[in-house]
Amino acid sequence: DTLWDLAIAEVEKRENPDDDDDVKPGEVWEKSILFMGNKNGGKTTIILRCLEREESPKPTLALEYTFGRRARRHNTPKDVAHFWELGGGTSLVELIRIPITVHNIRSFAVVLVLDLSKPNELWTTMESLLQVTRNQVNKILAKLEKTNPEVAAEIKQRVWNNLQRDHPDSALVDPFPIPLVIIGSKYDIFHEFDSEMRKIISKTLRFVSHYYGASLVFTSKSEALLLKARALINHLAFGYDKSKSVSVDPSKPLFIPAGLDSMSQIGPPPASDSDLGKMRANTPLELWKKVFEKTFPPKSFSDLQDTKDPAQDSQYAEYEVDVMRAQKNQ
């Protein structure tokens, strides 16, 4: 093939992208995953484990990018997974619109890492990050509906694929528009909590995950738990087989792949009937939020105030720049 032939083939491929699930032999697939969640919640550690890198994690500044490559079979080109990580908890949420674009929306997924050791920040973090992400995805879908309605329809249909056709909860859930994994980190600290507190947090996260059609896994620094989280992420990043195992025992770390839970197994929100009667809520999600925040009142967010000035951070030191800067300040 001449360069022109290759260029024409490349343009045609971009204009008529085939579904990722039917990648032809010898073709490379690319996936993108955005990691977000609590500050110091362990996102970088999880990414490094997924990429099998033996580095010690550094604090994430703003939005960071790295990638991983894997070959599906011997002697085949390597698939690429782009890993984006949003630092700063919820303070830099506007940056979400950089990695999620019209070009990669079909192969995009989100991993939300929630710090189980900080239940008072849990709901606020989850709500604000998912809301901004959903708004961005919906904006892109609205654009696609005008330019490429088939792709938009396919993305919207795909979110229901995790639920079996006649699942009793289809009318009660509102799946997230792109694949979502919720990781509860620092299980080792969470495990020391009072059993009633653990039960409320576990039940609430099960409800939220099921409501959004997400997978849920609890993890810590222990190798066995990290492997489970890694299996879910590798499924999103490299199309590895989904794990079919399920663990819903509240005394053990939860592991529930998308679509394998149900409202009847989760049960009602953990509050007395008289309390539930007093709570005014328009949606099931709102009711669970009120019950959860009754036990764990949300902390007022000071995320923005305590963001350190990266210019003063020694890990970003650059001699020439710093000298000029000092001169200018002087």
Residue 282: give its domain's CATH number: 3.40.50.300
Handedness of CA 51, 99, 241, 122 (dihedral sign): positive
Handedness of CA 235, 84, 159, 105 (dihedral sign): negative
Q: Indicate the SS3 state at residue 112.
A: strand
Is residue 197 assigned to a domain? yes
Contact criterion met (CB below 8 Å) for 101 and 143: no
Is residue 150 assigned to a domain? yes
| Residue 138 burial by Cβ neighbours in a 10 Å radius (0-12, 13-18, 19+) | exposed
Distances (CA, A) of 321 to 52, 58, 326: 34, 22, 9
Task: Please report the pLDDT score of residue 119 as a whole number.
Answer: 87
Task: Please report the pLDDT score of residue 242 as a whole number.
Answer: 74
Token pair for residue 219?
């993890």
Rounded Cα distance between 45 and 279, Å, is 39
Rounded Cα distance between 269 and 154, Å, is 34
pTM value is 0.77
Rounded Cα distance between 219 and 190, Å, is 10
Handedness of CA 166, 167, 169, 174 (dihedral sign): negative
Is residue 48 assigned to a domain? yes
Task: Please report the pLDDT score of residue 20 as a whole number.
Answer: 46
Q: Are strands 30-37 and 108-115 parallel, antiparallel or unpaired?
A: parallel
Domain count, the chain: 1
Rounded Cα distance between 158 and 226, Å, is 27
Is residue 4 assigned to a domain? no
Residues forming beta bridges with residue 111, ordered by sequence position:
35, 181
119-147 vs 195-211: helix crossing angle, rounded to 10: 0
Task: Please report the pLDDT score of residue 300 as a whole number.
Answer: 61
Task: Please report the pLDDT score of residue 304 as a whole number.
Answer: 42
Q: Indicate the SS3 state at residue 88.
A: coil
CB-side neighbour CA atoms (13 Å) of 8: 5
Distances (CA, A) of 206 to 148, 180, 254, 288, 292: 35, 13, 9, 11, 13
Is residue 3 assigned to a domain? no
Rounded Cα distance between 39 and 36, Å, is 9
Question: pLDDT tens digits for the chain (330 residues)?
Answer: 788 888 887 877 776 655 444 445 556 678 888 888 888 877 787 777 777 777 776 777 788 888 888 776 677 777 888 888 888 777 777 787 888 888 888 888 889 988 888 888 888 888 888 888 888 888 888 888 888 888 888 888 887 776 766 677 777 778 888 888 898 888 888 888 888 888 888 888 989 988 888 888 888 877 777 777 788 788 777 777 777 778 777 778 888 888 777 788 888 877 777 777 777 777 788 888 888 888 888 876 554 445 566 677 777 788 898 899 889 989
Domain that holds residue 73: 26-325
Is residue 56 assigned to a domain? yes
Task: Please report the pLDDT score of residue 15 as a whole number.
Answer: 64
Task: Please report the pLDDT score of residue 83 as a whole number.
Answer: 87
Rounded Cα distance between 18 and 100, Å, is 19
Is residue 105 assigned to a domain? yes
Rounded Cα distance between 2 and 151, Å, is 31
Contact criterion met (CB below 8 Å) for 258 and 213: yes
Is residue 11 assigned to a domain? no
Rounded Cα distance between 215 and 109, Å, is 12
